Amino acid sequence: AQSVTQPDIHITVSEGASLELRCNYSYGATPYLFWYVQSPGQGLQLLLKYFSGDTLVQGIKGFEAEFKRSQSSFNLRKPSVHWSDAAEYFCAVVRGISNFGNEKLTFGTGTRLTIIP
């Protein structure tokens, strides 16, 4: 079964420090991978996506992620976090709906990021 795992439920980092949020997927075919951010009380905003090509993808707000097929991972990174980065981050993968031939997005359980001064 296809799935997405975010092993870290909660991460705390100091402002200005580097950040890496982990995401592992289990998917039989070439995955389409995404990172979304949800700020408190807000909906989801797409940070970046990987479909194919260069395995290091750049996103908004200074985030990047690297697709590593050998490790089935798509970790999110930022070299220096800002207090405004405090939010919940979701990794997601598109998997198929076999009956209809369309796709639906499957999310990991999320990682809550806290920034300390």
CB of residue 97 vs other proteins: minimum separation in angstroms?
7
Q: Find the shortest distance in angstroms from Cβ 84 to other proteins.
A: 19
> Which token pair is 65?
């992620």
Q: Smallest Cα–Cα separation from 89: which of 32, 13, 38?
A: 38
Neighbour count for residue 4 (Cβ, 10 Å):
23
- In the complex, the residues that contact other proteins under the rule CB under 8 A are 6, 32, 34, 41-44, 46, 49, 51, 90, 92, 94, 97, 99-100, 102-110
CB of 34 to other proteins, least distance (A): 6
Of residues 20 and 103, the one with the C-beta less far from other proteins: 103
The encoded tokens of residue 32 equal 């389409």
Judged by beta carbon, residue 102 or residue 117, the one nearer other proteins is 102
Identity of the residue, 13 or 105, whose beta carbon is nearer to other proteins in the bound complex = 105
β-pairing, 32-38 vs 24-26, is unpaired
The answer to whether 35 and 48 are in contact (CB under 8 A) is: yes
